[in-house]
Amino acid sequence: MVVNEQAKKVYLEKDKFILENNIKPLVTKELIEEHRRTPVGKHSAHLLKVLNYLRRHHEEIEDKYLIINLEPHKKWCLGRHPGGRGVQYEVFDDEVFDSREAAEHALFLRRLRKFGLVDENYNPLGGKA
């Protein structure tokens, strides 16, 4: 499906409005801690809303962060999808995790930083501290 430039511009403006007004206020130290404690499984309504936004953002696969399993049930790292078929993922092997849960939380923090929702020390940039 081809989207014309005007429709894409409107979509991105609306998406930015949602980020600033609906998502950013939800990102607090408490929300980040909730995710750290339970990165997989049942989440609060606020955390679920933030996760859904971060996971679907722009609905484009190119440059989307992902978890890469390096060794089954033992080692994980993060990476980035190149966007095309037959192209290798960019692998961030400088940070390796010994559990899927630790990798999930690292992915969550990376996505929060990508959208300007936390600083490098995980302090929320807009939500309540």
pLDDT means per 10 residues in the chain (129 residues)?
A: 76 91 96 96 96 79 89 95 86 93 95 91 67
By residue range, what is the domain housing residue 82? 5-114
126 in a structural domain: no
119 in a structural domain: no
pTM here is 0.85
30 in a structural domain: yes
Instruction: Give the DSSP H/E element, type plus range, for residue 101.
Output: helix 100-114
Q: What pLDDT sits at residue 124?
A: 77
β partners of residue 93:
none
Structural domain total, the chain: 1
Which residues contact residue 42 at a Cβ distance below 8 angstroms, ignoring those fewer than 6 apart?
none
120 in a structural domain: no
Q: What pLDDT sits at residue 1?
A: 47
Query: Token digits for 11?
Result: 């979509």
83 in a structural domain: yes
127 in a structural domain: no
125 in a structural domain: no
92 in a structural domain: yes
Q: What pLDDT sits at residue 127?
A: 56
Query: Token digits for 28?
Result: 């607090």
